[in-house]
């Protein structure tokens, strides 16, 4: 089961890699990046490039974060 | 750390490479790269351009390709040296033989045979090893890697790491690296480059949509997820591969192992098989003098001197074999009775004339050999020969047979993105409705794709169109970015190459659409490989000439008259010049366009020099250079030619003091400035191409310095150079004009003296010339030559000339009235097999009825229907609708495709031949429309005849009435629009020329910029126009200078109110 959140979040990075994020006042520490990739999306609709991170937090939560080329971070999905 | 890109796609990956070769090379140079590879999909077409661009930029070009293997996997391949390149060419040739032209595949056995001096990289995710890893089958991936290693050698096979930010990239690279360590292989980093910069991704993505026939909103596995496949800097690549420094180091190692593979100094033209004991030079000399004896009779010292001069240059350039090959081809054509004519600058050569390749006497005309061939330029010779279009392929077959199929191939050509093609392809990918894109594309003139934005403001047919141009901003931008990129490879219509080495070691060969084997290099690049192109062209005019001569002689034989010889046409025939002077020259080679007709009506040509000048004058250059008016004025002695230096008079006298020909520029430079002929030709080329003002200034200074040193006054030298400068880019090759002039005059003679035969021949050889067949029919009728509809018992496969009976009696043979019978081949849907069936059955017995015809020919119903509707059965039964009705009754008995005929002759299947009641026939208008749609022409009448009541009611004049109207007044005329066009002008302002055609003839219309800007949106889009303007008389012809233009309302006019 996955829930689409698509909410703006604060992310702490080490280099270019996310290591923790805050959502609804709670801090989530990333224990592992499972996979990441980059997508151009619908460039013809002026959609920005995004880097997708599928991550596991130290509480074993599975999340998908999107990092837009504009600098904005989104919590895109939660996998229950 | 140095990094070299070894996996790079150029636009020659055909819709999978989105940056030009110069852009890629420049960017690599900006990064300080010492080398760069190009690895296009299954071809090396970029090789020559890449070699030149990279070498000029100080970068070592590494030539490779990304091969597709028999199982569909990709494998990158790099040539270490010329041997490796030859093997790559072999592999690619095999790939096209094995998989066909649209699905090339290299079988593994071929890889095992031709891997020497090649380095292989495992490829992108389409490669076998990475693909199997991504499928999770590590054992299979290991086996595949071992297999490549065994075939290619451990040192020549690298596992390719690509960090392209796709899912599973890091895991894939980890496994590839571990596999390399396990097998003792090396890894190498690439970026599988498809474009130079990240911002080029939209173009590449849209290319992918075009390639996969999808739209941007569609999902397709070949579309790339991101924009990471750009030419990244060494710093970016090093950072991406921090964990694999050895993969970065391997790029330099591989680059060091690869050397440039092309050798521009190579000479691959084969030795001509000369008779025993003779060298090519001796044999050429012998043939030249034999020919000279036949051409000139007595060989004077001047002739000998000229021939020796030319032979000396030919020998020093070591191109004797080329001349002998072309001589041999001309001999073959002559022996086979194939009509041919040499053209182009080769007509500047007396040797070529003596070899009977051209018909222009270069010595008599004082033509300069150096325009064709010079030591200084040392360019490869280029002899172009036109052949009767029907037999050009027979000539090519002779070349294949003589030199061997492995040594001969057709030269390819690349179809590139221009405005219309780009709008159609990109518009479809962007999801615009097809009809909308069609409307948009058709409104654009034939301009390059990067001139679209400029065209938007310039052309009213676009600017004033109802199309929402604002919607297309993204479309226009993509089109402009793709300008000039190759879309697909095709066959050059004329070019063949012959090689002494098997061609597959020089260029890959692949099958083109027509089954012809073509090179992967076009006509420009092929010569840089050491090959010389032979231009064997098809010219339908020569086919028409041949048909005319045959037709005349058939008639002559019937009348016991002497046979006609085209070669014997007198060059001073008064009637022919009168025809030219009338401007009524539709059908004459090179002299039939509206601009030519207008010139002829004013020029008053009365000798061959006038014809040759005419051919040269109506060209974009001389028109743009405003040479036409001074030429006509001086021709009529309205202006006196002045020569600023006495030495100019003999050079320019034949063109009344106007610098018209390229040869004249060369001669001026030689005479006035003492340039060598080769230096003069360099001047001619600088002028003709006019690429750089700096280059022009430099050669100007050189000219003036040498001229003054030669005793010419400074001011005079400067003025003479200004004349030449005024000519820059405008002049035409006199030899070419002379070669075409001969055919132009002789076809004018045919037009004057044998119009029925000549028009019939033109109609049989369509498409040819400037006008559609219906216009030719109109012209024939105008000259009192009836066009007879097709007749099932008379028409043949070609248009034929018939003598018309008069009051039941024939005219006297010496003065028959002639008509043209429309061919059966002209009938829509008629194929060769059906045509032969009709003729074979008819040769046994004429057809007696429709049923008789159907029973004996068993033709497809659609063909029979068309034959009925265009009137081919009128001679048997005049009611076409009745015949259709009858055909319906026969329908179930007619054969369908792939079924045996039911017309077996069984008595019970035979039907009554006529209906029990008569069906009313079609109206004349219906018949007219049927005929036009089926034949593409109307035999007896013209569309405008049906509009005449409407037009007369509105006082719109016919072309016939305009002929009788005094010029100077304002008139209204209407007609079908023929060939509207915008030639270049010196001022840069647009002038549109078009012809309005009605049932009586034609009237030419000139539309200047201000009127064009108001009405351009209908001029180029409406099939028929009404024009109001001033009737002008120019020479012997009239034309209208338009002031107002409107569309002829066809539907209303058709009702004829």
Per-residue pLDDT tens over the stretch A7-62? 999 999 998 899 999 999 999 999 999 999 999 989 999 899 999 999 999 999 99
Contacts of A37 in chain B (CB under 8 A): 165-167, 169, 225-226
B4 assigned to some structural domain:
no
Same domain, B853 and B909: yes
Q: What is the mean pLDDT of residues B944-954?
A: 93
Least confident of B184-193, B212-221, B763-772, B976-985: B976-985
Residue B265 CB coordination number (10 Å): 5
Same domain, B958 and B1028: yes
Same domain, B477 and B396: no
**What percent helix, strand, coil does chain B show, rounded to 5?**
50, 15, 35
Q: Is the pLDDT of residue B1024 over 60?
A: yes
Domain around A59 = 2-79
Does the predicted TM-score (pTM) go above 0.90? no
* Residue carrying the six token digits 């002299």: B591
B750 assigned to some structural domain:
no
Chain A: residue nearest B429 by CA?
A: A44
Mind telling me how many Å the CA of B430 is from chain A's nearest CA?
9
Q: Is the pLDDT of residue B230 over 50?
A: yes
Contacts of B474 in chain A (CB under 8 A): 44
Q: What is the model's pLDDT at position B882?
A: 93
Contact across the interface for B165 and A38, Cβ inside 8 Å: yes
Mind telling me how many Å the CA of B251 is from chain A's nearest CA?
25
Chain B: residue nearest A50 by CA?
A: B226
Cα separation values, B464 from B469, B740, B786, Å: 10, 41, 43
Same domain, B980 and B864: no
Least confident of B307-321, B438-452, B888-902, B1020-1034: B888-902
Contacts of B169 in chain A (CB under 8 A): 37
Domain boundary (B693, B718, B743) is at: B743
Contact across the interface for A38 and B216, Cβ inside 8 Å: no
Q: What is the model's pLDDT at position B812?
A: 46
Phi-psi region of B272 (alpha: psi -120 to 50; beta: other; left: phi over 0): beta
Which tens digit of pLDDT belongs to each residue from B237-269? Answer: 999 999 999 999 999 999 999 999 998 888 899
Same domain, B241 and B358: no
Contact across the interface for A40 and B226, Cβ inside 8 Å: yes
Least confident of B15-29, B183-197, B911-925, B965-979: B911-925
Cα separation values, B587 from B318, B386, B750, B760, B998, Å: 42, 18, 10, 11, 18
Better pLDDT: B967 or B626: B967
Q: What is the model's pLDDT at position B576?
A: 97
Q: What is the model's pLDDT at position B985?
A: 75
**Residue B1055: both structure tokens together:** 């009702």
Mind telling me how many Å the CA of B228 is from chain A's nearest CA?
8
Chain B: residue nearest A49 by CA?
A: B226
Phi-psi region of B810 (alpha: psi -120 to 50; beta: other; left: phi over 0): beta
Same domain, B56 and B180: yes
Query: Which residues of chain B are at the A interface, by a Cβ-Cβ cutoff of 8 Å?
Result: 165-169, 201-202, 205, 216, 224-228, 430, 474
Residue B337 CB coordination number (10 Å): 9
Better pLDDT: B275 or B204: B204
B637 assigned to some structural domain:
yes
CA angle B347, B682, B712 (to 5 degrees): 105
Q: What is the model's pLDDT at position B811?
A: 45
* Nearest CB to B225; choose among A35, A36, A40: A40
Report the percent of chain B where pLDDT is more than 90. 74
Q: Is the pLDDT of residue B832 over 70?
A: yes
Q: Is the pLDDT of residue B689 over 90?
A: no
- The dihedral built from the CA positions of residue B355, B358, B360 and B363, taken in this order, carries a sign that is negative
Q: What is the model's pLDDT at position B899?
A: 56
Q: What is the model's pLDDT at position B916?
A: 57
Which tens digit of pLDDT belongs to each residue from B840-871? Answer: 999 999 999 999 999 899 898 899 999 999 99
Q: Is the pLDDT of residue B560 over 50?
A: yes
- Please tell me whether residue B79 adopts helix, strand or coil conformation: strand
Q: What is the model's pLDDT at position B814?
A: 45
Contact across the interface for B225 and A51, Cβ inside 8 Å: no
Contacts of A44 in chain B (CB under 8 A): 202, 216, 430, 474
Q: What is chain B's mean pLDDT, rounded?
A: 91
Same domain, B520 and B644: no
Same domain, B578 and B651: yes
Q: What is the mean pLDDT of residues B988-1017?
A: 91
Contact across the interface for A39 and B226, Cβ inside 8 Å: yes
Report the percent of chain B where pLDDT is more than 70. 95
Cα–Cα distance measured from residue B755 to residue B815, given in angstroms and rounded to the nearest whole number: 14
Contact across the interface for B216 and A51, Cβ inside 8 Å: no
Q: What is the model's pLDDT at position B406?
A: 92
Contact across the interface for A49 and B226, Cβ inside 8 Å: yes
Mind telling me how many Å the CA of B166 is from chain A's nearest CA?
5
Least confident of B54-63, B393-402, B815-824: B815-824
A69 touches chain B (CB under 8 A): no
Chain B: residue nearest A54 by CA?
A: B167
Query: What band does B907 get if pLDDT is binned at 50, 70 and 90?
Result: very low
Q: What is the model's pLDDT at position B690?
A: 66
Q: Is the pLDDT of residue B735 over 60?
A: yes
B6 assigned to some structural domain:
no
> Which among B328, B359, B251, B177 has a CA at the least distance from the CA of B28?
B251
Number of domains in chain A: 1
Q: Is the pLDDT of residue B915 over 90?
A: no
* Nearest CB to A38; choose among B168, B216, B226: B226
Query: What band does B815 get if pLDDT is binned at 50, 70 and 90?
Result: low
Query: What band does B666 get if pLDDT is binned at 50, 70 and 90?
Result: confident
Residue B36, strand partner residues: B61
Q: What is the model's pLDDT at position B813?
A: 45
Contact across the interface for A44 and B474, Cβ inside 8 Å: yes
| Inter-chain contacts counted by CB atoms under 8 A, chains A and B | 33
Mind telling me how many Å the CA of A17 is from chain B's nearest CA?
14
Contacts of B201 in chain A (CB under 8 A): 40, 43
* Nearest CB to A40; choose among B168, B227, B474: B227
Half-sphere exposure of B873 (CA within 13 A, CB side): 25
Chain A: residue nearest B172 by CA?
A: A35
Domain around B558 = 543-743
Same domain, B680 and B569: yes
Q: What is the model's pLDDT at position B131?
A: 97
Least confident of B215-224, B662-671, B845-854: B662-671
Same domain, B762 and B737: no
Same domain, B511 and B550: no
Q: Is the pLDDT of residue B895 over 70?
A: no
Number of domains in chain B: 6
Mind telling me how many Å the CA of A25 is from chain B's nearest CA?
31
Q: What is the model's pLDDT at position B728?
A: 63
Contacts of A35 in chain B (CB under 8 A): 167-168
Q: What is the mean pLDDT of residues B21-46?
A: 97
Q: What is the model's pLDDT at position B162?
A: 97
Beta strands (DSSP E) in B129-171 are 157-162
Query: What band does B988 get if pLDDT is binned at 50, 70 and 90?
Result: confident
Q: What is the model's pLDDT at position B418?
A: 92
């Amino acid at each position: 089961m996955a829930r689409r959140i698509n909410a703006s979040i604060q992310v702490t990075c080490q280099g270019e890699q996310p290591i923790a994020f805050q959502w609804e006042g709670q801090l989530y520490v990333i224990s592992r990046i499972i996979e990441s990739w980059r997508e151009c999306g619908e460039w013809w609709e002026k959609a920005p490039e995004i880097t997708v991170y599928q991550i596991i937090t130290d509480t074993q939560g599975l999340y998908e974060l999107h990092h837009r080329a504009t600098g904005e971070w989104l919590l895109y999905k939660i996998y229950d | 750390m140095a990094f070299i890109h070894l996996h790079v796609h150029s636009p020659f990956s055909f819709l999978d490479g989105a940056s030009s070769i110069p852009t890629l090379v420049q960017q690599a140079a900006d990064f300080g790269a010492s080398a760069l590879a190009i690895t296009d999909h299954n071809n090396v077409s970029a090789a020559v351009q890449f070699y030149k661009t990279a070498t000029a930029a100080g970068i070592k070009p590494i030539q490779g390709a990304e091969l597709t293997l028999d199982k569909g996997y990709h494998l990158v391949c790099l040539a270490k040296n010329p041997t490796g390149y030859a093997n790559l060419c072999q592999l690619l040739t095999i790939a096209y033989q094995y998989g066909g032209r649209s699905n090339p595949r290299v079988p593994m056995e071929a890889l095992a045979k031709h891997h020497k001096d090649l380095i292989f990289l495992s490829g992108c995710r389409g490669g076998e090893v990475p693909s199997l890893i991504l499928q999770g089958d590590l054992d299979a991936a290991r086996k595949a890697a071992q297999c490549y290693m065994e075939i290619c050698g451990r040192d020549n096979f690298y596992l390719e790491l690509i960090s392209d930010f796709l899912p599973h990239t890091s895991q894939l690279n980890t496994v590839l690296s571990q596999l390399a360590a396990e097998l003792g292989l090396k890894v190498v980093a690439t970026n599988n480059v498809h474009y130079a910069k990240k911002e080029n991704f939209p173009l590449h993505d849209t290319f992918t949509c075009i390639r996969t026939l999808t739209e941007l909103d569609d999902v397709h596995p070949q579309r790339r997820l991101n924009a990471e496949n750009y030419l990244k800097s060494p710093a970016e690549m090093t950072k991406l591969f921090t964990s694999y420094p050895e993969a970065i180091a391997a790029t330099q190692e591989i680059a060091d192992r690869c050397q440039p593979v092309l050798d521009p100094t190579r000479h691959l033209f084969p030795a001509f098989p000369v008779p025993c004991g003779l060298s090519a030079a001796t044999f050429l000399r012998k043939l030249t003098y034999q020919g000279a004896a036949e051409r000139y009779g007595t060989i004077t010292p001047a002739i000998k001197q000229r021939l020796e001069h030319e032979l000396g240059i030919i020998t020093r350039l070591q191109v004797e074999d080329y001349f002998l090959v072309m001589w041999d081809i001309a001999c073959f054509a002559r022996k086979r009775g194939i009509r041919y004519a040499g053209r182009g600058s080769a007509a500047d050569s007396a040797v070529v004339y003596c070899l009977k390749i051209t018909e222009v006497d270069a010595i008599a005309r004082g033509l300069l050999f150096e325009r064709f061939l010079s030591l200084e330029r040392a360019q490869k010779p280029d002899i172009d020969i036109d052949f009767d279009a029907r037999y050009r392929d027979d000539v090519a077959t002779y070349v294949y047979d003589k030199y061997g199929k492995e040594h001969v191939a057709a030269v390819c050509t690349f179809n590139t993105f221009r405005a219309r093609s780009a709008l159609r392809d990109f518009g479809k990918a962007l999801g615009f409705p097809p009809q909308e894109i069609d409307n948009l594309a058709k409104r654009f003139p034939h301009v390059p794709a990067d001139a679209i934005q400029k065209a938007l403001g310039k052309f009213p047919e676009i600017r004033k169109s109802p199309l929402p141009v604002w919607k297309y901003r993204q479309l226009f931008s993509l089109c402009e970015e793709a300008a000039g990129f190759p879309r697909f490879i095709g066959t050059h219509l004329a070019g063949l190459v012959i090689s002494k080495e098997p061609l597959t070691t020089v260029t890959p060969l692949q099958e083109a659409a027509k089954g012809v084997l073509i090179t992967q290099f076009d006509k420009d690049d092929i010569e840089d490989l050491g090959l010389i192109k032979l231009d064997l062209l098809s010219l339908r005019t020569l086919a028409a000439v041949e048909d005319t001569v045959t037709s005349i002689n058939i008639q002559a034989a019937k009348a016991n008259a002497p046979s006609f010889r085209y070669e014997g046409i007198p060059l001073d025939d008064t009637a022919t010049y009168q025809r030219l002077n009338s401007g009524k020259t539709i059908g004459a080679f090179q002299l039939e366009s509206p601009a030519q007709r207008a010139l002829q009506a004013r020029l008053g040509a009365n000798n061959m020099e006038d014809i040759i000048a005419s051919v040269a004058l109506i060209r974009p250059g001389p028109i743009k250079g405003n040479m036409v008016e001074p030429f006509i004025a001086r021709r009529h002695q309205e202006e006196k030619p002045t020569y600023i230096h006495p030495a100019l008079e003999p050079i320019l006298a034949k063109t009344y003091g106007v610098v018209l020909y390229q040869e004249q520029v060369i001669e001026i430079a030689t005479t006035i400035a003492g340039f060598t002929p080769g230096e003069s030709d360099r001047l001619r080329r600088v002028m003709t191409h006019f690429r750089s003002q700096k280059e022009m200034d430099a050669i100007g200074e050189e000219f003036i310095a040498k001229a003054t040193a030669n005793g010419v006054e400074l001011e005079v030298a400067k003025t003479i150079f200004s004349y030449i400068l005024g000519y820059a880019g405008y002049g035409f090759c006199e030899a070419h004009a002379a070669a075409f002039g001969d055919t132009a005059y002789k076809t004018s003679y045919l037009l004057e003296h044998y119009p029925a035969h000549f028009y019939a021949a033109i109609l049989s050889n369509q498409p040819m010339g400037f006008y559609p067949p219906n216009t030719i029919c109109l012209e024939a009728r105008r000259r009192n030559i009836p066009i007879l509809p097709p007749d099932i018992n008379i028409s043949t496969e070609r248009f034929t000339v018939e003598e018309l009976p008069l009051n039941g009696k024939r005219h006297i043979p010496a003065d028959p009235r002639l008509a043209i019978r429309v061919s059966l081949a002209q009938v829509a849907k008629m194929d060769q097999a059906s045509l032969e069936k009709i003729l074979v059955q008819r040769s046994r017995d004429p057809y007696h009825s429709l049923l008789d015809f159907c029973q004996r020919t068993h033709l497809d119903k659609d063909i029979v229907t068309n034959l009925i509707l265009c009137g081919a059965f009128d001679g048997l039964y005049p009611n076409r609708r009745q015949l259709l009705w009858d055909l319906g009754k026969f329908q179930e008995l007619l054969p369908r495709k792939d079924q045996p005929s039911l017309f077996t002759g069984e008595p019970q299947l035979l039907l009554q031949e006529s209906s029990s009641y008569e069906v009313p026939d079609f109206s004349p208008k219906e018949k007219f429309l049927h005929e036009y749609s089926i034949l593409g022409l109307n035999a007896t009448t013209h569309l405008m005849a049906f509009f005449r009541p409407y037009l007369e009611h509105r006082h719109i004049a016919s072309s016939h009435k305009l002929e009788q109207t005094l010029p100077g007044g304002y008139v209204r005329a209407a007609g079908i629009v023929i060939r509207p066009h915008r030639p270049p002008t010196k001022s840069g302002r647009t002038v549109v020329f078009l012809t309005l055609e009605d049932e009586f003839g034609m009237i030419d219309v000139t539309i200047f910029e201000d009127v064009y800007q108001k009405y351009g949106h209908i001029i180029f889009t409406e099939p028929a126009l009404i024009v109001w303007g001033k009737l002008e008389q120019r020479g012997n012809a009239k034309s209208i200078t338009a002031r107002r233009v409107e569309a002829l309302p066809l539907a209303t006019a058709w009702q004829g109110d």
